[in-house]
Amino acid sequence: MELVKLEFQYTDDVTVINREQFDVHMRLYEGYINKINEIDKLLMKEPDLEGANSTYSKFRGLKRGETYALDGVILHEFYFENIGGYETQPDDMIKRALDRDFGSYDKWKKNFVATAKASRGWAILCFDPRSNRYRNISLDAHDVGNVQISIPLIVLDMYEHAYFLQYADNKAEYINKFMNNIDWEVIKARFESCL
């Protein structure tokens, strides 16, 4: 079954990036949707399994593209959903959870900002059910650095395409704007889904 693009409209609630930056980003997201659908079709119709080779093969190309495109779709949807909000604050349930695993909400925040600065792809607060812990993880690409079965809770795109048009090389300003405008209502629903 084909993946269908979710509709994200630019509104005044999207306070982290301007419309131009948003539109560019949305086109990239559409590109990942198109590519995963193209790859899935090719995987369905007799891919060259016999020629599979880890140095180079068409099948390897499809397998590399499959997780890159699909994780690109999933992470962008989480990101677009959580970049609204007007300087609201997380509620006590979220703060207690972050206190438990990071020492305090402020310590989590500092750690997340550092994680974002250290990332070439994504910074993610996730819940890892295997160790029953919240973790800030750093991805260098959509499918490089993920923790299996972890659930994304806060997702920040740190690819240069996410901010460079608007913020140029001022990565810190982009991260700061994101931290101050996280949509905590969306995040709360994600926290509750893994309780």
Q: Which residues are annotated as a binding site?
A: 25, 76, 157, 161
With CB under 5 A as the contact rule, the residue among 71, 77, 143, 157 that binds Fe ion is 157
Nearer to Fe ion, 108 or 159 (CB): 159
Q: How far is the CB of 51 from Fe ion (least distance, A)?
A: 32
DSSP of 5-50, one letter per residue?
A: PPP----TT--SS-HHHHHHHHHHHHHHHHHHHHHHHHHHS---ST
In angstroms, how far apart are the furthest CA atoms of the chain?
55
Q: Which helix (H) or strand (E) holds 153?
A: strand 151-157
Q: Which of 167, 180, 172 is nearest to 17 (CA)?
A: 167
CB closer to Fe ion, 73 vs 97: 73
* CB nearer Fe ion, residue 78 or residue 159: 159
Query: In angstroms, what is the minimal distance from the CB of 184 to Fe ion?
Result: 22
Smallest separation (angstroms) from Fe ion to the CB of 72: 7
Residues in the site for Fe ion, rule: CB under 5 A? 157, 159, 162
